[in-house]
Amino acid sequence: MGGNTIVNGILAIANGKVTLGSHNLLLGPSATISATPSSTVMIIVTGTVELRKEFPAGYAGTFTFPVGDDTGTPGYSPVTLHFTGGTFASGNYAGVNLKNEKYPDPDITDNYLERYWTITQSGITGFTCNASFQYLPADVTGDETLISCTKVNPLPWTTYGLANAGGQGRRWRLSFGTYHNR
């Protein structure tokens, strides 16, 4: 993409990857994505860019961010947010970014993923939300049944449930921040 872009209708991805480069993509409150996401049909959100979604006032529902990376072997690793409550100001958004690497903490040494996600928000308050992060079998280092989702930013670190071993995803209650599995 050549600049920050806003989509207010349907973003149709029939074939190929949408690479954000150094610019964010914002989906307006009524925008949807029409695609059959996979490792060959997804939105690349690496580096510092985000796929952002604005939600209408009073929103309660689910949105899947069809994101991944193309570092080495392309990896489709979507994030699904399911809001059950909150206040959504005009111009709000939730944003997703990911890194195809181990979370950079030297104390994480045994069981972890070679992938982590950053979820941001602006203009969303008093919310409750469940999240699902999908990863690839190749992302697992160590024993997958010992990997938990941990919110590391903002502090303090909060560890949630264990990964859904073999299912490549799990739901965790969260507040926005940076998430990795350890």
Confidence (pTM): 0.89
**Residue 167 confidence (pLDDT):** 56
Q: Where in the chain are the domains?
A: 5-97+118-135+149-178
Return the number of other C-beta atoms located less than 10 Å from residue 160's C-beta: 17
Q: What are phi and psi of 144, to 5 degrees?
A: -60, -30
Q: Give the pLDDT confidence score for residue 38 in this predicted structure.
A: 94
Q: Are 124 and 92 in contact (CB under 8 A)?
A: yes
CB within 8 A of 106, min separation 6: which ones? none
Q: Could you say which residues of the chain have pLDDT below 50?
A: 168-175, 182
